Amino acid sequence: MNKGVREERELVKILDRLGFAVLRAPASGSRTRLDRPDLLAGRKGFIVALEVKTTSRETLYLGEESVAQLLRFSRRFGAKPFLAVKFKRRRKGWLLVEAEGLKRTGKGFKLTLREALRRGLTPEALVTGKLENMFA
């Protein structure tokens, strides 16, 4: 089993414990021509599409197409698009950052640890009434 699958499954378990129904899409992202997020999770009508990434560095770089696929899928499905990121050396756990508003680079997007800490939400924050109302 590759590392990415293990990380995705860890996040699936967290979301499941929080009361979400979760689907993991095998062969998602750049390995398929279909617009497909890594994870799709829903709870009481609140749906999130997640592109899952981990890094040992302080900056995560993302290809233009993986973000574009996430945004296209989310619009069609009616989901809120998030980048689920784990900065492994920082031991901060998972942070969910809205995919809209990522900083552009020449060939895609970047997300720094500082930006993720400022803008990101913990998975637990998804189940607060305040957040659910924001996206209703």
CA angle 121, 31, 101 (to 5 degrees): 30
State the CB neighbour count (10 A cutoff) for residue 80.
19
pLDDT digits (tens, 9 = 90+) for 39-75: 999 999 999 999 999 999 999 999 998 899 999 999 9
Q: Which of 28, 56, 66, 74 is catalytic?
A: 28
- 28 given a catalytic annotation: yes
Domain locations in the chain as residue ranges: 3-134
- Please provide the size of the chain in residues: 136
- In CATH, the number for domain 3-134 is 3.40.1350.10
User: Does residue 130 carry a pLDDT above 80?
Assistant: no
What pTM was computed for the model? Answer: 0.87
User: Does residue 113 carry a pLDDT above 90?
Assistant: yes
4 versus 59: which is more confidently predicted?
Answer: 59
